[in-house]
Amino acid sequence: MARLDTIWKAKVLTLFPDMFPGALGLSLAGQGLKDGLWALETVDIRDFASDKHRSVDDAPFGGGPGMVMRPDVVSDAIDSVKALGEELPLIYLTPRGRPLDQARIRQLTTGPGVTLLCGRFEGLDERVLDAHAVEEISLGDFVLSGGETAAIATLDACVRLLPGIVGASDSLAEESFEEGLLEYPHYTRPQEWKGQKVPDVLVSGHHENVRTWRRQRSEAITRERRPDLWARYAADNG
């Protein structure tokens, strides 16, 4: 069992703490959580509301549809986490944020953990983001009902890189984005299926040829499907 003062910690500020651990409680992440390889704590933002109705939102100034999460309530929730004295990056998951990539995930896993702030309704009052210098991150150009689903995906990406979670560390080094390329195709038994055969090179036993084929396929797939990644990879590799 890992020591609680040294394991990677995830804190989630949310209106729906019952959504956690969710998928993070299953498979490798769930086993790691059970074994104490990482820790998860939720903070219910609604606990910091000051009225009897536990209100956390109000109508936007300037008019418009929807509601906005109040800065005083959210800020008090953030302060409750900061009061513990743990220096964790504070990230707000929002479609307008900087796109999340594998490099940022690796950075997060090298530190003590992360605090994720989950929005709802039309989002958060801008003043609380400014007051706490919150980092804004997006999972992609689409909109979810709330930040909880994005938080689970972000934590899954982080946790699987932690020591002891994934058994074969070599498998992490050859995944998509680790070298700036998308991953090569995979095949397993049966060797022939519905008239389709596994590429001969993969059953040749010639490891150098296999490595060359995989690199070529990664490059071809990246060039075809993600020209933005390919341009960056080509520039970095001359």
**166 lies in some domain:** no
Q: How many CB atoms lie within 10 A of CB 225?
A: 10
The span from the CA of 17 to the CA of 237, in Å, is 45
pLDDT tens digits for the chain (238 residues)? Answer: 444 458 999 999 999 999 999 999 999 999 999 999 999 999 999 999 998 899 999 999 999 999 999 999 999 999 999 999 988 999 999 999 999 999 999 999 999 999 999 999 999 999 999 999 999 999 999 999 999 999 999 999 999 999 999 975 555 666 657 788 999 999 999 999 999 999 999 999 999 999 999 999 999 999 999 999 999 999 999 7
14 and 102 within one domain: yes
Single out the residue in 102, 126, 159 at which a domain terminates. Answer: 159
Burial 184-222 (b: 16+ CB within 10 A, else e): beeeeeeeeeeeeeeeeebeeeeeeebeebbeebbbebb
pTM metric for this prediction:
0.89
223 and 149 within one domain: no
114 and 15 within one domain: yes
Q: What is the CATH number of the domain that holds 61?
A: 3.40.1280.10
184 and 144 within one domain: no
16 and 100 within one domain: yes
Number of domains in the chain: 2
Domain that holds residue 223: 174-236
On the 0-12 / 13-18 / 19+ scale of CB atoms within 10 A, 115 is buried
Single out the residue in 112, 133, 159 at which a domain terminates. Answer: 159
Would you state the structure tokens that stand for residue 73, as one six-digit string? 């309530």
